[in-house]
A and B are shown apart, each in its own frame.
Chain A
Amino acid sequence: MKALEGKLALITGSGRGIGKATALRLASDGCDIIVNYFRRRETAEQTAEEIRRLGVNATVIKANVGDVAKIEEMFDTIAESFGYLDIFVSNAASGVGRPIMDIDAKAWDWTIDINARAFLLCAQRAATLMEGRNGKIVAISSLGSTFVWPTYTIVGVSKAAVEALTRYLAIEFIPRGISVNAVSASAVETEALKFYIKEGLMKETSQLTPVGRMVTPQDVANVVAWLCSDQSYMVRGQTIVVDGGTSVSPWLSGDVAKGDG
């Protein structure tokens, strides 16, 4: 029997990128998946097809998690269709990259609502569906919560909120038997990243990573899967960093991996 057989996971923003890799990883452990997407139905449907090919069930639900009513609708659908949930991965994210003097209330609200408020509201609804099921909640964060990247201010702040919320949820959900943790990654090789940095910079980023390559969605998904397993039972409220060593040795480069360090 596979580790997550018979379990059901909701992964927000799982049509592509880290969310998709996580969905496929959990599916390979036997978990049924709810693919949530915002705007690209075709991509989400393709992901669902890939999931089904792994021998598990996949359901696609459209919802903008920045919209409270849409979150409610999504969880109402899950409650009616399944009546339970074992795993919730808060992955959907958006952001407006601007210098601080160009940030307005609208850009702030858009980013914080999708990245941080949605985590709280979804976790609340998920918790009620996890009763008696030893649920697992994992949030996807980013090193921008701790480190400063140009124009990343609002996203960085939203991720700091996600990590703080992870700690509070972890303790308050202990009586519910739910584990809550986060996974924080440095720049991950996804389509979303291409909006932020140019190709040359991608190469530079892999050279600056001590391990010698960029973090992939699969690297993140593997850690999420571990946090969704009982192997991580005593890990609570933590943010696990997946960055190939970048944050602990920012002065080293990928040359270390080649033995030139």
Chain B
Amino acid sequence: MSVEEQVRDIVSRIAHVDKSIITREATFKEMKADSLDIVQALVAVEETFDIEIPDEEAQKFRNFGDFVDFVEKEAAKKG
């Protein structure tokens, strides 16, 4: 499973939204994710990929695509 699919799975499970809504262009608002959903998704993704996502970086994510790109970049660093 690709990084994108794994992150989509996590967000879908935490925010209780259908995966079809979680496109790369979708904003967290469109995904109906509240601030707690976002924190829990960040924590779950950090644990899954053994990476850190600083809140300052997370605040820059405009949409799901930005989130995935960051995770891919950090996961690649880990090898």
Minimum CB–CB distance from B60 to chain A (whole Å) comes to 17
Q: Taking chain A's interface residues, is the majority helix, strand, or loop, or is none over half, making it mixed? A: helix
Q: Is B76 at the interface (CB under 8 A from chain A)?
A: no
Pair B40/A64 contact, Cβ less than 8 Å: no
CB neighbors of B among A101-154 (8 A): 106-107, 110
Interface range for B = under 10
In the complex where A39-B46, A96-B35 touch, is A110 in contact with B52 (Cβ < 8 A)? Answer: no
User: Which of A41, A42, A96 interacts with B36 by CB under 8 Å?
Assistant: A96
Please give, as numbers and ranges, the residues of chain B lying within 8 Å of A64 by CB-CB distance: 43
Q: Which residues of A contact B79 (CB under 8 A)?
A: none
Measured between beta carbons, the chain A residues less than 8 angstroms from B36 are 96, 106-107, 110
Question: A110 vs B54: C-alpha distance in the bound complex, in angstroms?
Answer: 20
**How many A-B contacts at CB < 8 Å in the complex?**
16
**Min CB gap A232→B, angstroms:** 36
Tell me the interface secondary structure of chain B in the complex. helix
A40 within 8 A of B: yes
User: How near does chain B come to A153, taking the closest CB pair, in angstroms?
Assistant: 14
Contact across chains for B40 and A40 when beta carbons are under 8 A apart: no
CA distance A96 to B35 in the complex (A): 8
**A interface with B by C-beta (< 8 Å):** 39-42, 64, 96, 106-107, 110
9 inter-chain pairs at a CB distance below 8 angstroms, sorted by A residue, are A39-B46, A39-B52, A39-B55, A40-B54, A42-B52, A64-B43, A96-B35, A106-B36, A110-B40
